[in-house]
Amino acid sequence: YDDREGFIWMDGKLVPWREANVHILSHAMHYASSVFEGERCYDGKIFKGHEHSLRLLESGRLLDMPIPYTAEQIDAAKAEVLAANNLTNAYVRAVAWRGAGEDMGVAARRNPVRLAVAAWEWGAYYGDAKMQGAKLDIAKWRRPSPDTIPTAAKAAGLYMICTMSKHAAEEKGCSDALFYDYRGYVAEATGANVFFVKDGEVHTPIPDAILNGITRQTVIAMLRDKGMVVHERHILPEELESFSECWLTGTAAEVTPVGQIGNYHFQVGQITRDVAKSYEELVRA
Ligand code: PMP
């Protein structure tokens, strides 16, 4: 992704894509002082763009790393990047991190908190087979406890085990991995939340140790608007066999049906299809 035409917004100005570099002694490189957002722009409008800017600021706050911009300034930076790269349907990545500076130790108050925004075209996250039902491995790692790491932040440090688990899943021919959490409850995938259907009702984990995805919140509201029952609750792995349908939600994943998790199988059923279609309509509305 480093060698292409275009512009990236860095610390207040647009820089040519290939020159959007940081110093190797950036604090973030050594200590994971980095938070980010993934957003999608549909037909020229970022879906829930402002909510993503607010979550980025909150992630920075949770890491004791205040980002020196307002949500409105971040919104404006995203619009500038999309325009500069002539994009109307794109993925938008904002990232804030502690840069290089006076400090090279763990404490780094004197190092600047920096912000960059990039955007590029990015199709279906799970590829062409999206509506066929993704196959998920069960991760050997667990989502950590909220008193171990700030699990409500969308922070780079939380993704170390995501990369490892996704690699392991892909080596087994799966598209992603499902995590259990530190208590053993069903948690989330490496970049998406998970939903299940049983007897026409929807079940999804409580976001007490996982990212409360913006897509997750959107889909729950959408289902309740339609009069469907949604249970946010702790889900045990033993329950997986009792569910008939399963899907993932996320900015990149959108609504992706799941056909298999480990040895458990699910149908790409009517509720999953309806949710996927309604979400597709909503993001372009
Ligand atoms: N969980 C994790 C670990 C994620 O990385 C993401 C993607 N940001 C999600 C859930 C879904 O979040 P959202 O719907 O806000 O994209």
User: Are 138 and 104 found together in one domain?
Assistant: no
- Give domain status of residue 279, yes or no: yes
Pocket test for ligand 1, best of 95, 142, 211 (most atoms within 8 A of CB): 211
Domain boundary among 120, 143, 169: 120
Is residue 128 predicted with pLDDT exceeding 70? no
- Give domain status of residue 216, yes or no: yes
Catalytic residue among 48, 130, 135, 154: 154
Q: Nearest C-alpha to atom 5 of ligand 1 is from which residue?
A: 191
Domain boundary among 88, 120, 152: 120
Distance CA 7, CA 258 (A): 36
Calculate how far, in angstroms, residue 103's C-alpha sits from the geometric centre of ligand 1: 32
DSSP strands (E only) in the chain? 7-10, 13-16, 34-42, 45-46, 90-98, 113-120, 134-143, 176-181, 186-189, 193-198, 201-204, 230-232, 245-250, 254-261, 264-265
Q: How many domains does the chain have?
A: 2
Pocket test for ligand 1, best of 125, 154, 206 (most atoms within 8 A of CB): 154
User: Are 47 and 30 found together in one domain?
Assistant: yes
Q: What is the dihedral of CA 147, 152, 155, 159, to 10 degrees?
A: 80
| pLDDT, tens only, 169-198 | 999 999 999 999 999 999 999 999 999 999
User: Are 40 and 174 found together in one domain?
Assistant: no
Mean pLDDT of the chain: 97
User: Are 69 and 183 found together in one domain?
Assistant: no
User: Are 81 and 149 found together in one domain?
Assistant: no
Q: Is the ipTM of this complex over 0.85?
A: yes
| pLDDT, tens only, 76-104 | 999 999 999 999 999 999 999 999 999 99
What are the pocket residues of ligand 1 if the criterion is a CB atom closer than 6 Å to any ligand atom? 38, 154, 188, 191-193, 211, 213-216, 249-251
- Give domain status of residue 2, yes or no: no
User: Are 196 and 252 found together in one domain?
Assistant: yes
Q: Is 48 a catalytic residue?
A: no
- Give domain status of residue 154, yes or no: yes
Domain boundary among 120, 137, 157: 120
- Give domain status of residue 1, yes or no: no
Q: What is the CATH number of the domain that holds 44?
A: 3.30.470.10
Domain holding 205, by residue range, is 128-283
Calculate how far, in angstroms, residue 207's C-alpha sits from the geometric centre of ligand 1: 11
Quickly count: other Cβ atoms within 10 Å of residue 138's Cβ.
Answer: 19
pTM of the model: 0.97
Question: DSSP alpha helices (H): ranges in the chain?
Answer: 27-31, 49-62, 71-84, 160-171, 214-225, 270-283
User: Are 252 and 132 found together in one domain?
Assistant: yes
- Give domain status of residue 235, yes or no: yes
